[in-house]
Amino acid sequence: MDTNTNEYIQNKVHKKRKFKEYLRKYSPILFVIIFFIIGLLIGQSGNIYLYSNDNINNCDNSDTSNIQVKNGLDETKYMEILNLLKSKYYDPTKIDYNKAFDGALSGMVASAGDPYTVYFDKELAASFNEEMSGSFSGIGAEIGIKDGSLTVVAPLKDTPAEKAGIMAGDIILKINDEDTQGMSSDVAVSKIRGERGTQVRLTIYRPSDQSTKELSIVRDEIIVQSVDYKKKDNIAIISISSFNDTTSSKFKEIASEIIADKDIKSIILDLRNNPGGYLDTAIDIASYWIRSGVIVQERDRNNQITKHNAIGNPILENYPTVVLINQGSASASEILSGALKDYKKATLVGKKTFGKGSVQEYQELGDGTAIKITVAEWLTPNGININKNGIEPDIEVDYTEQDFQKNIDPQLNKAIEILTK
């Protein structure tokens, strides 16, 4: 359940329903349809990534009055093809014109070649909105497109996916015997989700040991508990599974508890398998270690930089800190870990992160459909491009399936070793 990234959303989603007004103003809907055909002809092949539902901003309707069809493309081709289907196809009852229209719009959006820029039909939009509510029925795994394959960003803690042994980096080959090649993550999510108590079969490939497995997983209600805290000797271990509405307030309680506990000398911040969430939450938590300065930079299509700064509450800055990261750490967790690394406020241990560092705007279109568009990318304070590159650990430590089965956590053990030297 695309993260599976978690993401789980980075910026608050404010939904505006102006599409009908937009259509009245720009009534030639045929023009839009044709644009779809342009997209369909240019590049229908793109895979689409649903989740990390992060970095999603409010999107206003843009003025499209200056859009022009270029390169001599024929604006009438869509209707020409549609009319040929209507007049010549041997069984016209099998032609679903609503599906054809949605396919046209999907093709137009897919022509951008960006797995995070997505057109949602009514079914996918409903699924997306359900996920953003923080409670849904599924298996509890964030998924996305990585290197052209449907990939698990992260299994969420204490969910059917984690209990079944799903791991970050697993490639989903089939869903209930249906091949996922060319399938968008949004469609995959809609197929993996279902009623609580029902079963879904996933065929996965695990690159770490080059094994293929078929897993039958029973769906359950997924409620994300974003922050967990425990103490081991004089080390505080804080695990953040996502950056949602309650993360900041819960973290504030934990930080106050750490300050009040005079036995605690150091901190482990576990961001493994954290697919992301609200940008403001990531900045808020980074500010517990960083007194002032840039936490993350946002670069838009015009190469303009917007800097997001610390809010000034560094009550944890004097605690030696280790941050745990892995392939399932994405988006907001990459922003947080990248900032702590750049300011040398923490040592990063584990594996390179997922590399999801882009900002999406989400807009409902008034008829139950929606669109999500990438509008910018994230840079760390030192200017490292998070998108696709990810964040490198200071100390690389593997965590294998064999470790998982034996209940051994070499990454956590390394963090404890660093802090107890």
Residue numbers annotated as active site:
331, 342, 356
Give the separation between CA 309 and CA 294, rounded to whole angstroms: 4
**Residue 294 bridge partners (DSSP):** 309
In single-letter form, the type of residue at position 167 comes to M
Instruction: Using DSSP, state whether 360 is helix, strand or coil.
Output: strand
Using CA of residue 167, residue 170, residue 174, residue 175, what is the dihedral sign? positive
Do residues 121 and 102 make contact, with C-beta atoms less than 8 angstroms apart? yes
DSSP state letters, 274-303: ---B-HHHHHHHHTTT--SSEEEEEEETT-
Strands 135-138 and 220-223: antiparallel
Give the up-direction half-sphere exposure of residue 213: CA atoms within 13 A in the CB hemisphere. 16
Structure tokens at 187: 């469609």
Residue 341, SS3? helix
- Rounded to whole angstroms, the Cα distance separating 140 from 159 reads 5
Of 154, 184, 193, the C-alpha closest to 275 is: 154
Closest alpha carbon to 293 in 318, 314, 273: 314
Here the tokens at position 281 are 């939450």
The Cα–Cα gap between 189 and 56 comes to: 18
